[in-house]
Amino acid sequence: MHHGVPSMSSAASASTVPVDGAAADLDGFAHRFADVNGARIHYVSGGAGPAIVLLHGWPLTWREWRGIMPAVADAGFTVIAPDLRGLGDSDRPSKGYDKKNVADDIRAIVRELGFETIDLVGTDIGMMVAVAWALHHPTEIRRLVLAESLIPGFGLEELMNPATGGYWHFGFHAQVDLATMLTEGHEAEYLGNNWKMFSPLKGITHEDREEFLRTYGNPDSMRAGFRHYAAMLDDGKANRATFDQKLTMPVLVLNAGLGIPQEQTLGGVELVFANVEHDKVLLAGHAFAADRPDWTADRIIRFLEPAGGRDKDA
């Protein structure tokens, strides 16, 4: 499969299924598909230089990062933004949603593209995938940005208990058949509430919502998304079984000013990682890269620069 990024002469319109090699609606980026680890995974890539992988959350897709991708590529990176297994335009297999396996999907793409090490950014469920990647394959990651989530095995379980003020939706989503049945025919309403809450600055646009609904707005897609949640208790057991001592790669924790309280994310991260700094994306919701793309891109680039991402002579 050819993976070079072609010159972009026309933008693919939103709300259409992308074709391998087609121009994305970002100058210099293309849609790609890779058959890896038993699934066909969709990703958008562009730029040149060291690789940075951006892992989105639920119920979003690679488009969560759309606002920061050109700036990160311009800073001297190859940007790789996949749709996680079961989500977006990636396949929806019935199994394989444990976060180590989801990471293995993306690891196979990275290897196929010729990269041995990466910088890795993950938010929401994408953060859980990033942590599993780091725990199982720490030498593959130069620097790590973890945002707006909790770590299975290191704090998630306590914070998903509604009886103590935790997040109710984790348990609901983990009941895959029930959650699928109850949201069937109401996908737009259920998901729309999330998108509105995640992006109080309206960084998630009407066009974005239409595009998200294209891939999420049916029972098969909802079921696949819920499978990510159903795997989380097992993810916690796997994380704890793999954890030996704190990982030493540099980590930046980002939380939105209007998102998950930073102490919740930071509490888990500091149990697993030794070299942690943190910052807040003020005046942004859970989908902070959509609400504050310029700030987010600049902060991530500044964190990654010591890893050699930007050509200092440019």
The 3 state secondary structure assigned to the chain is CCCCCCCCCCCCCCCCCCCCCCECCCCCEEEEEEEECCEEEEEEEEECCCEEEEECCCCCCHHHHCCCHHHHHHCCCEEEEECCCCCCCCCCCCCCCCHHHHHHHHHHHHHHCCCCCEEEEEECHHHHHHHHHHHHCHHHEEEEEEECCCCCCCCHHHHCCHHHCCCCHHHHHHCHHHHHHHHCCCHHHHHHHHHHHHCCCCCCCHHHHHHHHHHHCCHHHHHHHHHHHHCHHHHHHHHHHHCCCCECCCEEEEEECCCCCHHHHHHHHHHHECCEEEEEECCCCCCHHHHCHHHHHHHHHHHHHHHCCCCCCC
**Active-site annotation holder among 83, 89, 286, 291:** 286
Strand partners, 287: none
Any catalytic annotation for residue 186? no
As a whole number of angstroms, the distance between CA 66 and CA 130 comes to 19
**Active-site annotation holder among 83, 124, 235, 291:** 124
Residues 6 or more apart in contact with residue 185 via CB below 8 angstroms:
none
Any catalytic annotation for residue 25? no
List the chain pLDDT tens, one digit each, 314 residues: 333 333 333 333 345 788 887 878 899 999 999 999 999 999 999 999 999 999 999 999 999 999 999 999 999 999 999 999 999 999 999 999 999 999 999 999 999 999 999 999 999 999 999 999 999 999 999 999 999 999 999 999 999 998 888 999 999 999 999 999 999 999 999 999 999 999 999 999 999 999 999 999 999 999 999 999 999 999 999 999 999 999 999 999 999 999 999 999 999 999 999 999 999 999 999 999 999 999 999 999 999 986 544 443 33
User: What distance lies between CA 148 and its chain's CA centroid?
Assistant: 10
**Active-site annotation holder among 97, 229, 235, 291:** 229
As a whole number of angstroms, the distance between CA 51 and CA 76 comes to 9
Domains with residue ranges and CATH for the chain: 29-307 (3.40.50.1820)
Any catalytic annotation for residue 229? yes
